[in-house]
Amino acid sequence: MKAIILLLLAAVPLGATANQVDPNAAITAFEKKFGVSEGKRRNHTKGLCFAATFTATPEAAQYTVSPIFSGEPISVVGRFSHPGGNLHSEDAKTKVLGMALDFRYNDIHHKMAMLNVPFFSVPTPEAFVEQLTVTPAERGAFKAKYPSVGQFEQSLMEREAGARDYFQQYYNSIHTFYLVNKAKERQPARWIFYSQNMTGLASDSSLDFAQQAAQKLASGPMAMDMIVAFPHESDKLNDPTYQWVTSGERVNFGRLQITGTRRRV
């Protein structure tokens, strides 16, 4: 668990704020807001694990030397999740969902965390923790300090009520990461996993998300393509509240085939 927290906190914008959040203070803020579900994550507490395979396209290897993009099928353990510390978060009322991937290559675990939102609500981990502790009376001042919070709420309001299921989503890296190629050149990039084969598979709203996932996977694997975007010169690299314009260039880095669900963790 510690490793994932460190990974998330390390993957912040490159500004001066990267090491200003004390992980213990962040966890205490989650515990105060949501209480504690013993043995569970303090955030994204409700979730469903899945097994998958990722196979990179030949194009990916032109941008990165990472072995997970070699083109060889890579085994992945993934997890869909609901944000917040509520273990009993209601599926039908959830608008935001997460997808985490753990690529397993020899002894390497390469982890990615994504959300089905176009941009993050706040610019820094510090602001994220502040958001957890803000009282209703302080909310107005908090939103004035971080205009992205209002924009984020607006973008959620414009969504249809509730997410339909774990598969009918896109999952966005939100942050900028660097790809390193054979010549050791660093290229900033962001990515989104898009569902590919949802056509004809309607969600049965009488089932919860875990049951729907099992029902859909009974008819075969669910495919999601990893589409990588590169920034336009005007795009900000170190602000997750800023949605990239991008130069329009997109490269398909590979396909994730989800084959089965595991258990709620």
**Residue 101 touches ligand HEM, criterion: CB under 6 A:** no
**Among 56, 60, 68, 100, contact with ligand HEM (rule: CB under 6 A):** 100
Cβ-closest residue to ligand HEM? Answer: 98
**Beta strand 250-264 with 74-82: parallel, antiparallel or unpaired?**
unpaired
**Residue 115 touches ligand HEM, criterion: CB under 6 A:** yes
**Residue 82 touches ligand HEM, criterion: CB under 6 A:** no
Q: Nearest 5°: phi and psi at 114?
A: -135, 160
CA distances from 101 to 51, 171, 181, 208, 254 (A): 10, 11, 22, 22, 14
- Residues in 154-193 at the binding interface with ligand HEM, rule: CB under 6 A: 174-175
Q: Which two tokens stand for residue 91?
A: 């599926």
Q: Which stretch binds ligand HEM (CB under 6 A): 35-43, 160-168, 179-187, 201-209?
A: 35-43
Contact assessment for residue 229 and residue 188, using Cβ atoms and an 8 Å cutoff = no
Instruction: Specify the residue, 24 or 199, whose C-beta has the smaller distance to ligand HEM.
Output: 24
Q: How many CA atoms lie within 13 A of 52 on its CB side?
A: 24
Shortest CA distance to 177 belongs to which of 20, 44, 14? Answer: 14
Instruction: Specify the residue, 21 or 210, whose C-beta has the smaller distance to ligand HEM.
Output: 21
Per-residue interface string for the shown chain with ligand HEM, residues 129-158, x marking contact by CB under 6 A: x-----------------------------
Q: Is 109 helix (H, G, I), strand (E, B) or coil?
A: strand
Question: CB-based contacts of 139: which residues, under 8 Å, 6+ apart?
Answer: none
Q: Which stretch binds ligand HEM (CB under 6 A): 39-47, 162-170, 183-191, 241-249?
A: 39-47
**Residue 52 touches ligand HEM, criterion: CB under 6 A:** no
Q: Which stretch binds ligand HEM (CB under 6 A): 56-64, 109-117, 241-249, 256-264?
A: 109-117
d(CA 61, CA 59): 6
Least distance to ligand HEM, CB of residue 102, Å: 8
Shortest CA distance to 122 belongs to which of 169, 86, 175? Answer: 175
Shortest CA distance to 265 belongs to which of 103, 3, 39? Answer: 39
Q: Where do contacts with ligand HEM occur on this chain (CB under 6 A)?
A: 1, 4-5, 8, 21, 26, 41-44, 47, 79, 81, 98, 100, 113-115, 120, 125, 128-129, 174-175, 240
